[in-house]
Amino acid sequence: MTDSARLRAADLTLEEKASLTSGADFWNLKSIERLGVPSIMVTDGPHGLRKQAGSSDHLGLADSIPATCFPPAVGLGSAWDPELAERVGVALGVESAIEDVAVILGPGINIKRSPLCGRNFEYVSEDPIVAGSIGAGLVKGIQSQGVGSSLKHFAANNQETDRMRVSADVDPRPLREIYLRGFERVVTDAQPWTVMCSYNRINGVYASEDPWLLTQVLRDEWGFEGLVVSDWGAVNDRVTGLAAGMDLEMPSSNGRTDAELIAAVRDGSLAESVLDTGAQRVLDLIAKAQARPAVTGPLDVEAHHALAREAAGRAIVLLRNEGGILPLAPADRVAVIGEFARTPRYQGAGSSQINPTRLDTALDAIRAVSPAAPFAAGFTLDGSGDAAALRDEAVELARAAEKVVLFLGVPQQEESEGFDRTHIDLPAAQLALVDAVRAVNENIVVVLSNGGVVALPFAETVPAILEGWLLGQAGGSATADVLYGAVNPSAKLTETIPLSLQDTPAFGNFPGEHGHVRYGEGLLVGYRWYDERGLQVAYPFGHGLSYTTFGYDAATATVDAAGDVRATVTVTNTGTVAGREIVQAYTSLPGSSVQRPPRELKAFASVALEPGETAVVELQLRRHELAYWDVRIDDWAVEPGTYVIEIGASSRDLRVRTELTLDGDPVSLPITLDSSFEELLADPVVGAELQAEIDAAFGPAGDEMMNLLGNAPVGRLDGFPMPREQLLALVQRAQRGA
């Protein structure tokens, strides 16, 4: 390639510039042989490399080369460990580099607004701090290997129903505080090489042609330096999109949209400088990819499989463990029931479907520890067969066992990219199996395999539940590691498990109708909703048990030189085995002038402790992330006041608290005759003078008068509390600031 540092878009012809801004085919960018600009390849991720061999598609239908299938985001996120995510990212980067892939399309960090979203397995959390932290770890790891990442899907891509057209109608505060905040953290912390714009519209405007989203917010506010690529088929109007900041269209349009750009430049409807900007960003991306040192491999399959196993073990959430039934002992007479033990569901369906280098099953892994463990399918994954006969066989096995490990889950055909779920229930045959087994053996350990949360009607009637999510290719071995105590579970829920679908925040506002979905729950997404409404849940956000116990003590909080809050807490492993605790910090502001949930996660840390060991855990609460979006000034503002910081093991298991008074950001509201009396009274220039006039006119009744009229516009009541000319002069002085 010609020296990329000197090659500029100005060196290209109009036709060459246009050609660079769309793909050559499904996965490759165009080359320019005249200037030595090579084609580079991008491929799907995000939990493994999906480099298709032969025919190409974006739905996971065609075969791809073998690659390590790490736990999808639903599992990896449950580890609450950005450093682990970064290590997985390094492995993803290595495999991509070996295959000469320039950009791997991930991570996905969209918010889990509803448990029904068919793509929730590919997203991290219902909370933006968790999603942004894990996403940043993955991006850092991938890009450390000279491979680009593609942060997706930007933005408000929270459902699959009508996903290519639907308008996500979101108010400014939740859009900023919930749906964009995670993206902001990844961009500012990790600078992904590319950001992928989503299919949907946001408040009526396609993400692929929204200059507010792609230029004002992403570049001007957050300082994004890379390239914006479309989701595959997300382009609605190529000329409008390029002007908005959408640089690269994928896949190929077979030259159709290139011709549209050329025509628009020639007829003057598109400035050539805009095309230059888009083409230059593509050249810069190619240059980054070409700067990577050559990597030939071979892939260390075993090392990456071991990392996948470690990550899977860190992803399994111990929801319940009554009576200490877990961990199992090798000598326990265990019956293994459930087809998922033999036929694992280890990843989601669709564009992220990986062809694994190997695949562990839980049944094989359990038998490696307890060779005599018998097995019964109990049900079929597609609902075929004689359900009663399968159930009866499982019951007889359970009757003869000391303990039962019962594998349940959501079949792949019920959960995939491309469509949303319609319920959160496990199949009826599986629920009937639980009841039948429990009737003959109460010592049941349920292991779940699912990409999105499921209702757990048996939560109080079985002694142990492992939420296994989708665990990647080593999930079977990792499950046995946790069951037998080789790994002490440490994962925590990154999304609330509700008692019913009707309790969920978006119920009634999902998936919308006639091309629009109203985000009517506003800020109250996930745990914020359940806490605000005082709803009982099956298991709260942040919950996860261990085979040991942890004590919390001595919380403190101070403000550092950068204005961030540094909170500390003393955590002790009070049990008898080594373990890892996820320490979570939540904030609230009593008496806030704006709507706030009862508490919001602002920081977390993962700490490993030996039995009896104590550590002082430090948590950084970024000042910017304590701010709310002030719609009056269209900007962030930290509200002054005394913040409560609660630290604990989940959103509903808060062990210690401390308080800290913060100075607020100055908020200067424009003063006009349409301003309220309260706003004018708050003005530092004329507020005191107006208060004096009110006191002089009404005396002791002035406070009562302001309670009645304080939010009335000052220009609406002529002569109150002074002649209009005098009031207008007061307003003009406030506007001048003197």
pLDDT digits (tens, 9 = 90+) for 380-422: 999 999 999 999 999 999 999 999 999 999 999 999 999 999 9
Q: What torsion do the CA atoms of 198, 202, 205, 206 make, to the nearest 10 degrees?
A: 10
- Top pLDDT among 738 and 52 is at 52
630 in a domain, yes or no?
Answer: yes
**pLDDT at residue number 684:** 85
pLDDT at 56: 61
Q: What residues have CB less than 8 Å from 514, skipping those under 6 apart?
A: none
Is 100 strand, coil or helix? Answer: coil
**537 within some domain:** no
Cis-peptide into 46, omega within 30 deg: yes
Mean pLDDT over the full length of the chain:
95
Provide mean pLDDT across the span 520-538: 98
Distance CA 128, CA 109 (A): 8
**What mean pLDDT is predicted for residues 439-447?**
98
Q: Are residues 579 and 694 in the same domain?
A: no
Predicted pLDDT at 475:
98
d(CA 721, CA 719): 6
The yes-or-no verdict on residue 5 having pLDDT over 60 is no
Residues 322 and 177 in one domain: no
Provide mean pLDDT across the span 459-471.
97
Q: Same domain, yes or no, for 468 and 354?
A: yes
Tell whether 387 and 343 lie within a shared domain: yes
- The pLDDT assigned to 60 comes to 54
**Among 72-86, 526-540, 697-711, where is mean pLDDT lowest?**
697-711
Q: Is the pLDDT of residue 296 over 90?
A: no
Residues 563 and 630 in one domain: yes
pLDDT at 581 exceeding the cut of 60: yes
* CB-CB contact of 557 with 580 (8 Å): no
User: Which pair of structure tokens corresponds to residue 261?
Assistant: 């750009």
Distance CA 650, CA 318 (A): 13
Letter string b/e over residues 657-694, b meaning 16 or more CB atoms within 10 A of that residue's CB: ebebebeeeeeeeebeeebbbebbbebeebbebbbebb
- Quote the DSSP letter at residue 220: I
In this prediction, residue 155 carries a pLDDT of 97
| Backbone dihedral region for residue 620 (phi beyond 0: left; psi -120 to 50: alpha; all else: beta) | beta
The per-residue pLDDT for 679 is 87
What integer pLDDT is reported at residue 83 of this predicted model?
Answer: 98
Lowest-pLDDT range, 149-163, 206-220, 334-348, 712-726? 712-726
Which residue matches tokens 């003009």? 732
**Residue 497 carries which DSSP code?**
B
| Whole-number Å distance between alpha carbons of 47 and 73 | 7
Same domain, 233 and 106: yes
pLDDT in tens, 453-462: 999 999 999 9
**682 and 637 part of one domain:** no
Assess whether 374 and 281 both reside in one domain. no
Instruction: Confirm whether 175 is domain-assigned.
Output: yes
> Do 362 and 408 have their domain in common?
yes
In a domain, 469, yes or no: yes
pLDDT level of residue 681 (50, 70, 90 thresholds): confident
Interval 256-265 mean pLDDT: 98
Residues in the chain: 738
Strand partners, 652: none
Q: Structural domain of residue 309, as residue ranges?
A: 301-522
Mean pLDDT value of segment 720-733: 87
What percent of the chain shows pLDDT beyond 70?
A: 98
Q: Which amino acid is at 364?
A: D
pLDDT given for residue 366 in this prediction: 98
> Which residue among 255, 290, 325 closes a domain?
290
Residue 493: the pLDDT is 98
The distance of Cα 640 from the centroid of its chain, to the nearest Å, equals: 29
Residue 282 lies in a domain: yes
- In sequence order, the β-bridge partners of residue 606 are 582
Strands (E), 416-574: 444-449, 464-467, 516-518, 550-559, 565-573
| Beta partners for residue 29, in sequence order | 23
Domain count, the chain: 4
Distance CA 354, CA 68 (A): 8
Residue recorded with tokens 């002569």? 719
| Lookup: tokens for 657 | 């608290």
Q: What span, in angstroms and rounded, lies between the C-alpha atoms of 544 and 406?
A: 19
Cα separation, 115 vs 128, in Å, equals 16
The one-letter code for the residue type at 302 is E
CA distance 241 to 210: 7
What pLDDT score was predicted for residue 295? Answer: 83
pLDDT of 55 reads 56
Please give the Cα distance from 529 to 367 (Å, whole number): 43
Query: What span, in angstroms and rounded, lies between the C-alpha atoms of 431 and 314?
Result: 27
Tell me what pLDDT residue 201 has: 98
Residue 668 lies in a domain: no
Alpha carbon distances (Å) from 251 to 98, 231, 232, 414, 655: 23, 9, 6, 28, 51
Let me know whether 240 and 109 are in one domain: yes
The pLDDT-based confidence of 58 (bands split at 50, 70, 90) is: low
**Nearest in space to 87 (alpha carbons), one of 309, 297, 298:** 309
405 lies in the same domain as 384: yes
**What is residue 667's predicted lDDT score, i.e. its pLDDT?**
87
Q: What is the token pair recorded at 357?
A: 């280098």
Q: Look up the CATH number of the domain holding residue 572.
A: 2.60.40.10
Query: Could you tell me if 129 and 83 are in contact, meaning their C-beta atoms sit under 8 angstroms apart?
Result: no
Q: Range with the lowest mean pLDDT among 62-71, 147-156, 193-202, 471-480? A: 62-71
What per-residue confidence (pLDDT) applies to 164? Answer: 95
**Residues carrying an active site annotation:** 231
Is the CB of residue 47 less than 8 Å from the CB of residue 58? no
pLDDT band at 61 (very low <50, low <70, confident <90, very high): low
Whichever domain contains 447, its CATH number is 3.40.50.1700
Establish if 255 belongs to a structural domain: yes
pLDDT in tens, 305-355: 999 999 999 999 999 999 999 999 999 999 999 999 999 999 998 888 999
Tokens matching residue 400: 């003869």
Last residue of a domain, one of 606, 627, 662: 662
pLDDT digits (tens, 9 = 90+) for 115-127: 999 999 999 999 9
Name the pTM for this structure. Answer: 0.95
Average pLDDT over residues 218-235: 98
Q: Would you state the pLDDT for residue 88?
A: 98
296 within domain boundaries = no
Q: Among the three residues 600, 634, 662, which one is the final residue of a domain in this structure?
A: 662
**Same domain, yes or no, for 135 and 247?**
yes
Nearest-angstrom CA–CA distance, 63 and 78: 29
Nearest to 485 by CA among 407, 443, 548: 548
Q: What is the CA radius of gyration of the chain?
A: 28
